[in-house]
Structure 1
Amino acid sequence: MTLKSSSPIASKALLVLGILLIAISLRSPITGVGPLLDAISNELHLSATQAGMLTTLPLLVFAFFSPVASKIGTKRGLEQALMLALLFIVAGLLVRSAGNALGLYLGTTVIAAGIAIANVLLPSLVKRDFPTHIAMVTSIYVLMMGAGSAISAGLAIPLSDLASQFSVSFIPSWAFSLGCLLLFPIIAILLWLPQMSHHSVPTKDTEQVDSHSYLWREASAWHITLFLALNSFLMYIFISWLPTILVDNGYSHHQAGVVHGVLQLFTAVPALVLIPFMSKLKDKRLLSFSLTFMAFIAIIGLIVMPHMAMLWAVLFGFGAGGGFIVALTLISLRTSTAKQAAALSGMAQFSGYLVAATGPMIMGELHEQTASWQLPLMICAICSLVWGGFAWLAAKDEMVSETNCLTACPAQFDNK
């Protein structure tokens, strides 16, 4: 009898553990590239634009796979779809670690496809299985995403040095460093296996499920989408170029890697701070705007006082990480069902990552043309102010629904 009563608790604990291990694998394969970008570029003779594509390419894949991910989750069930995502990430990491240009870009594409599926479906899983603890579970898994990012960024150079120290010759040292990231998704697969025995089975009406196409005409849905878009736009610029910006300002590669790791770590810290009161805070507008303003101060600080980069990394990481948590939480809180949450998540991540994909490449090209980071950083500062405006709009306390469609407005006037 005791065993039966404790079984649901153990099952939930195992589910949470599986979610956390999946979360670790959702950013670390991308953030581990930044500190190694110079080494990769030098060995493979990549231009700044081509190097920027290593971060731009995943974002394009995120964008185009996001709508597909929602359909995979509906047809195969969330558990099977998330296992497929992990298998994609493992396969992509193996291909990327081959150490050549073809493997680098092809592997990155496959990794990004796996991440896109999990990115879209995790909010839906949280909505379904933890409807009364959405903010808490979301904050915890974003915390793990940040922790994975910090580990991969902080260990990228030391692992590369370790490969050189032990004379690893079958692949380049940077490829060895990136290959070590296989550990995260492999452990996640092992922990997710128990979920496969009781996966959600598609119902007979799966093919007739409402696509929620009205979301594309709904103002609140667009506010959340653009809030996430500008958050991702700025975040991935810094993930790609912060180590290079710091090296150009006199930091060593090791120092730049450490600062980059600190930024990644502090994207996770808001989860610890926001967990206690996120679900109780009905009006999230001031919180959302404050997070964007922190990022603005950090960018200005990096322009004016680059010698204090550690402080600016802490501020930017906290602001961007907190904004990401709020955006994911709003997707769940502002929707009525798990299917609607998955549809809004797909819309927000398709549009958001499409916008974000332009960031690393544009900033890399601007830097190449001006031989300075001043103009790219000033553009980032302006974008952070616009981001603050959409943060305020997105955080309004209103549900996303078909009755709020933009196309409904003309009809209202006609009725008059």
Structure 2
Amino acid sequence: MSLTRAQQPLRTPLAPVRTRLAHPVLLLTGILLVALNMRACLAAISPMVGEIQRTFGLSATASGLITTVPVLFQGVGAPLTPRLTRRFGTERVVLGAVLVLGAGVLVRVLPSVAALYAGCVVIGVAIAVLNVSMPGLVKREFPQRAAAMTGVYSTTMLVGATLAAGTSVPLEHVLGGGWRASLSAWSLLALVAAVAWLPQVLRGRQARAAVLPQPRTASLAPLVPAAGPSIPGLWRTPLAWQISLFMGISSLMVYTLVAWLPTILADHGMSRDEAGLVFAFSNLVQVVGAFLVPLLAGRMTNQRALAVLMAALNAVGVSGLLLAPVSGAWVAAAVLGVAQGGSLGLAIAFIVLRTDSAAGAARLGSMSQAVGYLIAALGPVGGGALHQLTGSWTPVLVLLLLLAGAAALAGWGAGRNRTL
């Protein structure tokens, strides 16, 4: 007895539809351009914090919120992303997030304090969606080279941050419109990334068409249905919490220095231009750690020693800022660059290495980034408040030194050779 058209089972493709839109070069170009945007708009604002503070008459605590708000909403937005990708497909969600990111950059430079913080909220939510979507997409598209591609993806994020940190002040001079003109220019990078990502959205449409015919009640699936089961009891799993805490503490250290490193150096007598260059140099060196550490992690049985090494390097770099904040700034920036880039790459690699499917990576990524960025959000505003209370940057740096030890403990657990 033959089945009717509506009763026939779904014909789900096991691989993406083979068209010119599926060419690896197009996919890789899209991934890299999206990744370039994910840190640029945050790093671009750091050398401008002093000017923004003077423009609106903000306190140090309120100035810290400029960096804290996007990080906070990265944590708030992360749990929503798996639901969005199931409903609309990863490709369309990524495109939407990039466009929203560009819009947030423009809202942030409107002439009011409310718009400044509203733009930060929009940017944070957009980055949250990309933070959760991209590791699962990388694992799905490059299953045999997930660790290596994670390194490339992490490196590209930091390249974007380096370009933004190093060119924000020069852009201000070239464009002649002050900090607003300089910051708004980064919306163009988001537009370029959106155009480059369009082929993947079109490919997703072709793949969804390929699974038809299907029952009328069935919803259209993403490009390739996620293989593998979900992770039951994820929020009760110690390993998931250790990964989340490693990401959170490492990110807190990163975002505290993203917000305040140029100011710390300037307050100790360094010129504003040189402080911006030191900050850009630190971001540049992060590229080395972000590329090499995930590659090393993928070749290791466990990554415990690597996690402890990254925490130790963070401690050494912070100690350099404590002991010689001007004369030792370049050396401290180099050490911190390797440590922070490596910690970022390792945290993302943990998401890939501790799961056995794209669905699992998305779920773990959602949890670890929700917890991680909520922790990280405490750094910039907390650092500003502590400096305002004490009148010194020393307590802030001492606290970061203690947190490096906590990151080592979390990394020791996260680096175990286990799969969720």
TM-score, normalization: structure 2? 0.88
Secondary structure at 1:26 match in 2 = helix
> Residue 266 of structure 1 aligns with which residue?
285
**CA 1:213/1:50 → structure 2, altered by over 3 Å: closer, same or farther?**
farther
Provide the secondary structure at the position in 2 that maps to 1:279. helix
Name the residue aligned to 1:386.
406
Q: 2:275 aligns to what?
A: 256
Q: Cα deviations across residues 234-258 of structure 1 (Å, max 9, x unaligned)?
A: 0000000001100011111101100
Residue 205 of structure 1, CA deviation: 9.6
Aligned to 2:382: 362
Q: Deviations over 1:75-112 (max 9, x none)?
A: 11110010011111111112112233122111111111
Q: In structure 2, what residue type is equivalent to 1:49?
A: T
| Over 6 Å off, 4+ runs | 6-10
Query: CA–CA distance in 2 between the matches of 1:132 and 1:223?
Result: 25
Give the one of 210, 226, 245 matched to 2:264: 245
Task: Give the aligned length.
Answer: 387
Contact in 2 for aligned 1:90/1:186 (Cα 8 Å): yes
* 1:321 alignment counterpart: 341
Shift in Å at residue 8 of structure 1?
Answer: 7.0
* One of 351, 357, 370 as aligned partner of 1:331: 351
What do the CA deviations read for 1:311-358 (whole angstroms, capped 9, x no partner)? Answer: 111111110110111111111111122111111100001011111111
Name the aligned partner's letter for residue 183 of structure 1.
L
Unaligned 5+ segments in structure 2 are 1-17, 212-217
User: Which digits, 9 at most, give the CA deviation of each residue in 1:29-63, with x for residues without a partner?
Assistant: 11111100000000111111110001110111111
Gaps in structure 1 of 5+ consecutive residues: 1-5, 401-416
* C-alpha contact (below 8 Å) 1:228/1:348 kept by paired residues: yes
SS of the residue 1:335 aligns to: coil
Deviation at 1:271, TM superposition (A): 3.4
The one-letter amino acid of 1:316's match is L
Local SS of the residue matching 2:143: coil
Identity of aligned residues (%): 33
Matching residue of 2:124: 112
Query: Displacement of 1:276 after TM fit?
Result: 5.1
Q: Secondary structure of the residue that 1:99 maps to in structure 2?
A: coil
| Preserved contact between residue 136 and residue 278 of structure 1 (Cα < 8 Å) | no
Show CA shifts across 1:146-166 (max 9, x none). 1110111111111122233xx
Q: Does structure 2 retain, via aligned residues, the 8 Å contact 1:243–1:256? A: yes
The reply to whether residue 342 of structure 1 matches residue 362 of structure 2 is yes
SS in 2 for 1:372: coil
What is the one-letter code of the residue matched to 2:164? S
Alpha-carbon separation, structure 2, partners of 1:274 and 1:48: 35
Within the candidate set 65, 85, 93, 1:81 is matched to 93
Structure 1 residues 181, 212: closer, same or farther in 2, change over 3 A?
same
Quick one: which amino acid aligns to residue 143 of structure 1?
T
Aligned to 2:153: 141
Q: 1:390 to 1:310 in 2, by over 3 A?
A: same
1:188 aligns with 2:188: no
Cα pair distance change 1:370/1:342, threshold 3 Å: same
* 2:308 alignment partner, one of 240, 264, 289: 289
Counterpart residue number, 1:29: 41
Give the Cα–Cα distance (whole angstroms) in 1 for the partners of residues 405 and 249 of structure 2.
Answer: 10
- For each residue in 1:282-306, what CA deviation from the matched residue of structure 2 results, as whole angstroms up to 9, or x when unmatched? 2211112111111100001110111
Shift of 1:7: 6.2
User: Residue 175 of structure 1 corresponds to which residue in structure 2?
Assistant: 180
Change (3 A) 1:116 1:232: same
Say which of 195, 198, 203 aligns to 1:198: 203
CA separation of 1:135 and 1:211: change in aligned 2, threshold 3 A: closer
Deviation at 1:73, TM superposition (A): 1.0
Distance 1:73 1:295, change over 3 A: same
So what's the TM-score if we normalise by structure 1? 0.89
Name the structure 1 match of 2:109.
Answer: 97
Calculate the aligned-residue CA RMSD, in Å.
2.0
Alpha-carbon distance in 1 for matches of 2:175, 2:406:
43
Q: Are 2:249 and 2:403, in contact at CA under 8 Å, matched by a contact in 1?
A: yes
Given the alignment of the two structures, is residue 125 of structure 1 paired with residue 137 of structure 2, yes or no? yes
**Distance in 2 between residues matched to 1:162 and 1:39, nearest whole Å:** 17
| Maintained 8 Å contact 2:74/2:373 | yes
| C-alpha distance in structure 2 between counterparts of 1:229 and 1:277, whole Å | 21
Q: Distance in 1 between matches of 2:163 and 2:116?
A: 21
